[in-house]
Amino acid sequence: MSEIFDVAVIGAGPGGYVAAIRCAQLGLNTVCIDEWKNQKGKPSLGGTCLNVGCIPSKALLESSENYFELKHKFSAHGISCDNAAVDVPTMVARKDKIVTTFTVGIASLFKKNKIKSIHGRGTLQKRTAPSEAWKIVVVDAGNEQILQAKHVIIATGSVPRQLPFAPIDNDKILDNIGALSLTEIPKRLGVIGAGVIGLEMGSVWRRLGAEVTILEALPEFMMAADEQIAKEANSIFSKELGLQMHMGVTIESVKTTKSKVTIRYADADKKKQTLEVEKLIVAIGRIPNTTGLGIDKNGLAVDERGLITVDAYCRTNLSNVYAVGDVVRGPMLAHKASEEGVAVAEMIAHIEKGQQVEQSQSIDFNVIPWIIYTSPEIAWVGKNEKELKAAGIAYKVGQFPFMANGRARSIGDASGFIKVLADEKRDRVLGIHMIGPNVSELISEAVMAMKFSASSEDIAAIVHAHPTLSEVLHEAALGVDGRALHI
Ligand code: FAD
Ligand code: NAI
């Protein structure tokens, strides 16, 4: 207990582990505490993102997409395979191997950066005097140790929100952990929630052959996305992929037996309906994880949703205690968590050197990209049309379809479009919305444009290589002034 660390990070997800690495790079003596255990009961760094979120879901999305293409799309290329088959355990083992590569990789990054890594649950203690170091009690398998640090970064992430009448057992009723670990393809799969997890996990199991029904409480599909993109996505997901989506439902009960799950719900017309499935995924959002942090004892302020209250610089109400990632306000995204982690690390380094906090150390949420890794992919940054209208901002629109792009046609994936929204007078880009092939990669150019306060004219003036998918963004930017060339 004698050593006083400069920084103690609680949580080693993309918020915490990135913060720890940046702190160490800046010469701060850093410890990172994390309690995650993998299916084998072994400590596993990387939090939700690496263990049961971003990375494993993308691994399964890729595998299932390959199978779907082989079965339904390769014949157009003159490639056929009569006996295409799926071996789910191999698919899941591949996913697990990718996860292990990255979680072990974080452990070696910690070692390389001389970050002390401690496994266990960290509880922040109450401080009796501002001059004191913060104390964190770490408990692992009944063993307790006390750490001291001048600064504490809380990055404890989030956990799935549960339906009170449908407790997760990860046998019949699944959260993201169960949905990523099925060992066989269910004949019928139900999903509650047409959000990001519902769509991504629903796509995986649908592509592999499950009959997938998604039940969503909201009356409209993907209300956070641009309306036109949501409409296009709804049509493709229903018609081409075969996801059955029911909007505006009220779930009334969920009952399980050995062989099935029965969901009773009222549909949008208030008619009683019953759905019977083998497995049910519940993906109705995530809630901040402050379990075990001791917030009732140490005076850490949380809001009505349980999120730790922070200012624009991720400072909590306790001096030298910061919080980043899913446990605070803002989008629950890995890249947002990491950016906050870096910003806080740099701020602490400034404070330790007696320097002023700079404005660049706060995050601009308006330039954080959103991506949904379905097929086609969906991505956006900035404001959508509905938001601009609500804010009374006059804007111009440029739009271009992938159908008119040579590269998209060549790869055989030409659905969707890109839309550029620019300020009517100053032409500054206000939002860019995409649905189509590889838009998860294309969105970076849009983010850069917005970060550098570009105009649509700036994007239009950039030479885009031919033939590439990026030409669709170029043409959409040209389209803002009615100058698109290939339509
Ligand atoms: P987490 O990653 O949740 O990490 C928190 C860590 O803190 C965990 O290891 C936890 O065990 C530990 N912890 C908690 N309390 C304590 C304590 N008291 N003591 C010690 N340790 C503690 N985001 C994207 O940007 N792109 C994606 O493609 C994407 N896909 C996703 C797919 C799924 C299925 C899910 C569920 C999420 C996905 N997300 C994605 C969201 C992303 O995973 C989260 O936004 C991100 O992990 C948040 O990072 P974090 O560091 O705040 O928290
Ligand atoms: P979500 O917030 O994206 O979607 C939840 C959906 O469930 C909403 O549409 C909501 O209206 C609906 N819902 C809520 N209660 C309901 C009820 N009782 N009955 C029916 N529907 C109900 O949450 P989700 O999908 O659980 O994902 C959590 C978060 O994880 C996401 O918001 C995102 O931040 C992150 N994530 C990000 C990914 C990415 O970046 N590609 C992928 C997966 C998750």
For 411-434, how does the pLDDT look when each residue is reduced to its tens digit (9 = 90+)?
999 999 999 999 999 999 999 999
Give me the percent of the chain exceeding a pLDDT of 90. Answer: 95
Question: Do β-strands 429-436 and 417-423 pair in parallel, antiparallel, or remain unpaired?
Answer: antiparallel
Answer yes or no: is pLDDT of 400 > 70.
yes
Nearest to 343 by CA among 329, 327, 325, 363: 363
Residue 130 banded pLDDT, cuts 50, 70, 90: confident
Return the structure tokens found at 335.
Answer: 């890249």
- What is the number of the ligand closest to the CA of 157? 1
For 42-62, how does the pLDDT look when each residue is reduced to its tens digit (9 = 90+)?
999 999 999 999 999 999 999
Report in angstroms the alpha-carbon separations of 146 from 2, 287, 306, 322, 402: 10, 28, 26, 19, 57
Ligand 1 pocket test: which of 95, 124, 156, 196 has the largest number of ligand atoms within 8 Å of its C-beta?
156
Nearest to 434 by CA among 463, 459, 400, 410: 400
For 313-327, how does the pLDDT look when each residue is reduced to its tens digit (9 = 90+)?
999 999 999 999 999
pLDDT number for residue 359:
66
Q: Specify the residue with its C-alpha closest to ligand 1, atom 40.
A: 54
For 442-484, how does the pLDDT look when each residue is reduced to its tens digit (9 = 90+)?
999 999 999 999 999 999 999 999 999 999 999 999 999 999 9
Q: Specify the residue with its C-alpha closest to ligand 1, atom 35.
A: 53
Question: Number of helices and strands (H, E) in the chain?
Answer: 14, 22
- The whole-number average pLDDT for the span 167-183 is 97
Q: Which residues of 214-251 are buried (b: 16+ CB within 10 A; e: fewer)?
A: bbbeeeebbeebbebbbebbbebbeeebebbbebebeb
User: Cα(176) to centroid of ligand 1, in Å?
Assistant: 12
Give me the percent of the chain exceeding a pLDDT of 70. Answer: 99
User: Cα(5) to centroid of ligand 1, in Å?
Assistant: 24
Which ligand 2 atom is at minimum distance from the Cα of 193? Answer: 7
Question: What phi and psi, each to the nearest 5 degrees, are found at residue 354?
Answer: 75, 25
CA distance 250 to 266: 5
Return the structure tokens found at 107.
Answer: 């452990």
Which ligand 1 atom is at minimum distance from the Cα of 157? Answer: 53
- The whole-number average pLDDT for the span 204-229 is 97
User: Cα(261) to centroid of ligand 1, in Å?
Assistant: 28
* Residues assigned a catalytic role: 466
Determine the straight-line distance between the first and last CA of the chain, rounded to whole angstroms.
Answer: 69
Answer yes or no: is pLDDT of 361 > 80.
no
pLDDT number for residue 141:
93
Tell me the one-letter amino acid at 426.
R
Counting beta carbons within 10 angstroms of the beta carbon of residue 291, is it exposed (0 to 12), middle (13 to 18) or buried (19 or more)? exposed
Name, in order, each residue with C-beta under 8 angstroms of 478's C-beta and a sequence gap of 6 or more.
Answer: 398, 460, 484, 485
Write down all domains in the chain, each with its CATH number in brackets: 4-159+287-361 (3.50.50.60), 173-284 (3.50.50.60), 367-479 (3.30.390.30)
User: Cα(351) to centroid of ligand 2, in Å?
Assistant: 37
pLDDT number for residue 362:
79
Answer yes or no: is pLDDT of 360 > 80.
no
For 242-292, how does the pLDDT look when each residue is reduced to its tens digit (9 = 90+)?
999 999 999 999 999 999 999 999 999 999 999 999 999 999 999 999 999
Ligand 2 pocket test: which of 284, 289, 371, 441 has the largest number of ligand atoms within 8 Å of its C-beta?
284
- What is the number of the ligand closest to the CA of 103? 1
User: Cα(259) to centroid of ligand 2, in Å?
Assistant: 27
Which ligand 1 atom is at minimum distance from the Cα of 16? Answer: 51
CA distance 254 to 238: 24
Q: Which residues line ligand 1 (CB under 6 A)?
A: 10-16, 33-36, 47-49, 53-54, 57, 121-122, 155-158, 176, 197, 289, 292-293, 325-327, 332-335, 337
Task: Return the bridge partners of 371, or none.
Answer: 379
Q: Which residues line ligand 2 (CB under 6 A)?
A: 163, 192-198, 200, 215-218, 251, 283-286, 331-333, 371-373
pLDDT number for residue 200:
97
Answer yes or no: is pLDDT of 372 > 90.
yes
pTM of the predicted model as reported, rounded to 2 decimal places: 0.97
Q: CB atoms < 10 A from the CB of 306, how many?
A: 13
- What is the number of the ligand closest to the CA of 370? 2
User: Cα(216) to centroid of ligand 2, in Å?
Assistant: 10
- The whole-number average pLDDT for the span 368-386 is 98
Residue 95 banded pLDDT, cuts 50, 70, 90: very high
pLDDT number for residue 449:
98
Task: Return the bridge partners of 288, or none.
Answer: 158
Answer yes or no: is pLDDT of 1 > 60.
no
